[in-house]
Chain A
Amino acid sequence: MSILALAAPPLLAASPPEAVPTRQHLWLCIHLPDLALQARPWAPGVAGAVIRECAGQRVIHAVNEVAARRGVVAGMSLPAAYAVCPSLHIQTRDGRSEARRRRAVARESLAFTDWVSLDRPDAVLLEVGASLRLFGGLDALRSRVDQMLARLGLEARIALAPVPLAAWMLARSGQAICVLQPAALRSALGELPLSALPVSLHGLQRLSPLGVRTLRDLWRLPRDGLARRYGRALVRLLEEALGETPSLEGRYRQPIRFCRRIDLSLETDRLEVLTPILEALMEAMGRFLTERAAATSRIRLRLFHRRAAISTLMLQLSQPIQDWRHGLHLLRGKLERAPLSAPVLALELACADLHPHRPAATDLFDGHAARQLDWSQLLDELRNRLGEDALRILALADDHRPERTSGIRTDTRADSHPPAAPRPAWLLHAPAPATATHWRLVSSAERIESGWWDPPAVKRDYYQALDRDGRLLWVFRDGRQGRWYVQGIFA
């Protein structure tokens, strides 16, 4: 137990600063040019294009082979594209699906190296310099990467270079080459057009009539002049491409997430069948959390049916838990109360919201802390059944108007002070109009006049009054209308 508690939580630990490279890095860039197309379903043989919004206009983002043969190119405006190809099928870009595919590549790439970066658009970068020997050389590694991409069903262009930006620019330009030495970068990149740079430099296009079409031409220009004309950023980019200024690639880390599904051999709506399966899933989740010294505050149970839509049960907890039995207890309660819409085919349990587990400090002499932990678990259970609004924790608020002095909060402390004059233990939901003959005033007046800056403003004279039932009421006379109201009861 103590080892688990002391071990550094693996998920939230900040990534340590990358060490200064002592050996040669080699970056393998997998550029996925057709990601936008592949993220969308297409009927075979149609001219298809993916469009994106660009400055309020719809622009062609990517085109498939058929459309490209008809003359549609990326960057065209939509009317222009329809003009050249009236039968064009368009779909809007699905950024989420693209990101999912890129993440899938990154996940698989973790088999080759621990440094995978998703920093560059439409690409996945792998630092393979450290893994070459393990995989038996460059060619063997390349073929493995090709196998992986084939397995994922993705078309990709691959280039290798000692600098990530150079590898990305080469792959994006379709130069499937491998540059091993930084000294060779200048000649490898030199022939690339200016559009290979990851910037939209409208001014740069003006350079082409002057004969500046490739990066080599750009390098020939004096750098300080370039910086003055097009900004330091361009010069820095050129330096970065050659590896003269270091760039730090982000590291893709697989999010820690638990998700497990059990398919039933026979669909059922009987809880006595489902409960043991749920228990097995929860136990697996508990093991998963314990192994990672993690705790979760959100658990999702999904029930799959043959015809009906998936039913989802969300369990939200006030404190992250590691103990699966508590979660099981709550989920079972939820399941028992929510009638099943249809027989269940499969159950899926997932928790994504992971936190480092902080075990409650156990005190040898006092069970107080443990009792408080139990208490919050009980509140979870109540909230779970009664609803979020049913549990109200009282708090003081800084306002002189009585109806605003009491608040309901969901977290813990408030540091306001109550007023010095006596206040009742109960406050009616709203002041109730009353006739002054129903009571006898037993205190002097307390004037409350406040809130003129934030309507409704109040101007009231408050009294204590004894009614016929013997209750001590808190009443006031409205300073504007002169009417009497009951607002609270001392008890």
Chain B
Amino acid sequence: MNPLEQLLADCPTLFRGGQTAAPAGAFLPTGHAELDALLPGGGWPLGSLIEIQTPAPGLAEIRLLLPALLRLQRESRHVVWTDPPFPPYAPGLVQAGLDLARALWIAPATPADLWWCAEKLLRHPACGAVMIWPARCAETVLRRLQLAVEAGGGLGIVFLRQVAATSPAAVRLQLEYRDEHLWVAVRRARGSWKQGRIRLGRADVPAQT
């Protein structure tokens, strides 16, 4: 064994660029094979925050998350829309295959209530995913949510118009519309250096399940 290998074996804190350790924890396939390939663990990391930057509300959020939401509901976990930009439409959700009995729409009156209930929900093991559309979002708030979601083991999904430079989110994505197609760019995924962009599908064709 050469000295370098010896050193690496002895000091687990030493970081090796380019080579990623097998990430710990549970993962949920995103349902988009190309995206799974870009994310460490091959899917959404359960018990983590996911930050998604969208240029306009209503741009393919559900299309991106739907396979994961369906999978969570099949595990009899609940999916929560917290203060969405528009009212969720029951016929559309049922057509997409979602179970309304496990879907909840919460409209809190104030930002304080929003964060309070998001934290409560994320902390709950029966809650599979909490989608949040905050107007503004401080990093300290996200840290609190991150702690809550670690306890609950679900997914906390925060949709933002503008993102801060740093964030405790495990995965940071950006939704884009370009050349008639919807794109998802992976800006950061904890435990991986990979960055990249995948195509979600044509924008003028509704998502198929």
Contact = CB atoms under 8 A, between A and B. Distances in A.
Are A and B interaction partners?
A: yes
B32 to A, nearest CB: 15
Interface residues of A, number: 52
A429 B84 CA distance: 12
Given A372-B126, A469-B55, A489-B58, A419 B104 contact: no
A interface secondary structure, majority: mixed
B101 interface: yes
Given A396-B100, A491-B63, A385 B117 contact: yes
A470 interface: yes
B58 A471 contact: yes
B94 A396 contact: yes
A406 B108 contact: no
A491 B90 contact: no
B92 interface: yes
Nearest to A428: B86
A386 B59 contact: no
A165 interface: no
Category for how many chain B residues contact A = 35 or more
Interface string A397-437: 10000100111100011100111001111111100000000
B96 interface: yes
A378 B56 CA distance: 32
B101 A413 contact: yes
Contact of A382 (B61, B85, B103, B120): B120
A407 B105 CA distance: 12
A423 B89 contact: yes
Contact of A374 (B59, B93, B124, B206): B124
A488 B95 CA distance: 15
B interface secondary structure, majority: mixed
B186 interface: no
A406 B204 contact: no
A425 B124 contact: no
A425 B93 contact: yes
Query: Which 10 A-B pairs have CB atoms at the shortest separation, nearest pair first?
Result: A470-B177, A418-B91, A489-B58, A427-B89, A426-B86, A406-B90, A491-B62, A423-B92, A423-B91, A442-B204
Interface of B: 55-56, 58-63, 76, 78, 84-96, 100-101, 103-109, 113, 116-117, 120-121, 124-127, 177-178, 182, 203-204, 206-207
25 contacts: A375-B124, A378-B126, A386-B106, A391-B105, A392-B106, A396-B100, A405-B91, A417-B94, A419-B91, A422-B92, A422-B95, A422-B206, A425-B93, A426-B58, A426-B88, A427-B88, A428-B86, A464-B206, A470-B178, A470-B182, A470-B203, A471-B59, A489-B58, A490-B92, A490-B207
Given A374-B125, A386-B108, A402-B91, 19 more contacts: A385-B113, A386-B109, A392-B105, A393-B104, A402-B89, A413-B101, A417-B94, A418-B92, A418-B94, A426-B85, A426-B86, A426-B89, A427-B88, A429-B87, A466-B204, A470-B60, A471-B177, A489-B86, A491-B59
